[in-house]
Amino acid sequence: MPTKLRVALIGHGFMGRAHSNAFAQVGRFFDLPYQLERAVLCGRNREPLQAMASRWGWRETATDWRALVDRDDIDLVDIATPNATHAEMAIALARAGKIVLCEKPMAISREQGSEMVEAARNVPTMVWFNYRRVPAVAYARQLIDEGRIGPVYHYRAVYLQDWPALGATTKTWKLSKAGAGSGVLGDLLSHIVDLALYLNGDISEVSAMMHTFAPGREIDDATMAMARFANGSVGSFEATRYAVGCRNRNQFEIHGQLGMLRFDLEDMARLEYFDATAPPRLQGTRKIMVTGPNQPYANNYWKPGHVIGYEHTFIGALGDFLQALAAGSEFHPGFADAQKVQVVLDAIERSAGSRSWVAVE
């Protein structure tokens, strides 16, 4: 008889929908020792909240997240609200002993993040850096672990969007300092920094610039950074919402002594791999379709050649988290991992302010 895990979700926007789907679907694609109960959906606008709860199978709704803190019929709370609200919620919930899942960026400052880690020291946590669970990204990690690209020389990542540049600036907290804390720094750069830490290890120092194109806007529309990694490689990062022509291009390239890897979220079923150990005349960048066999998540979803989509990165993250939870093993990325991202973002922000190199930590 599987253990019940009673779940509350705070947030019913786009992310609330993606998370709801993950909770609904995870048991279909992952073997879990848990029986997930979608117990409470929490949000502030009663009407859409009700509609969403009914559509996604949440048993009840609530309009004040604080009510969740003391309910002992809730085991796990998932926070999918605007960035600025994460810390307060997570700290209160963690202190109350809840398992806490939190959207990225975990916090809007290094200090907040630090408090969150401290508060959650004794509860399982996860931060939704969902792109680690793209099969092609997890596969990149495998290939690196196997030594296939050797010592790394270059890490190059961009996250390019264009919706505000194209005028899609309908009211969203994402463009407000109060709601988001920052612009692309927290929204996009956090993703590619997380992937860099995951794939290439610690960053030692950064030199960065931040730029705002829209008059009067308080947040960064574009942020760039050069970096040195602890492993001796050098790297660059760029996140922008003014890359006209790029809807959602989250891309990295890693050049090592023995090969290259390249990934682009807009073509998420594939990983590009250059094997420099092949005879020179046979060398070329190959596109590997990462749908199995013997590749990450190949047994979870469909058949080789049959692709999954954006939503499965959330399902995969949740599936991995719940399996780790059941096994009693540590899950990554938890709050401590996400705090490493916060530390890099903090260094980037300070570097852009001081117009100089800043050491990370």
Footprint (CB under 8 A) of a second copy, residues 36-75 = 55-56
Q: Does 224 bind a second copy (CB under 8 A)?
A: yes
Applying CB under 8 A, does 104 fall inside the site for a second copy? no
Pairing of strands 259-264, 249-256: antiparallel
Are 263 and 159 spatial neighbours (Cβ–Cβ below 8 Å)? no
Cβ-based nearer residue to a second copy, 131 or 198 = 131
Q: Which of residues 22-41 bind a second copy (CB under 8 A)?
A: 24-25, 27-28
Is residue 78 within 8 Å of 8, Cβ to Cβ? yes
Rounded Cα distance, 190 and 154, in Å:
19
Q: Is 297 in the site for a second copy (CB under 8 A)?
A: no
Q: State the minimum distance, in angstroms, from the CB of residue 323 to a second copy.
A: 16
Burial class (CB in 10 A: 0-12, 13-18, 19+), 63: exposed
Among 19, 133, 255, 340, binds a second copy (CB under 8 A): 255
Q: Is 214 in the site for a second copy (CB under 8 A)?
A: no
Q: In angstroms, give the least distance from the CB of 331 to a second copy.
A: 23
- Among 289, 324, 326, 336, the residue binding a second copy under the rule CB under 8 A is 289
Give the residue among 225, 204, 250 at the shortest CA–CA distance from 360. 204
Of residues 29 and 65, the one with the C-beta less far from a second copy = 29
294 binds a second copy, rule: CB under 8 A? yes
Q: Does 312 bind a second copy (CB under 8 A)?
A: yes
Distance CA 73, CA 162 (A): 43
Supply 320's token pair. Answer: 């991995």
Query: Is residue 238 close enough to count as binding a second copy by CB under 8 A?
Result: yes
Q: Which stretch binds a second copy (CB under 8 A): 86-94, 97-105, 188-196, 260-268?
A: 260-268
Q: Please name which of 116, 117, 68, 115 lies closest in space to residue 96, comparing C-alpha atoms.
A: 68
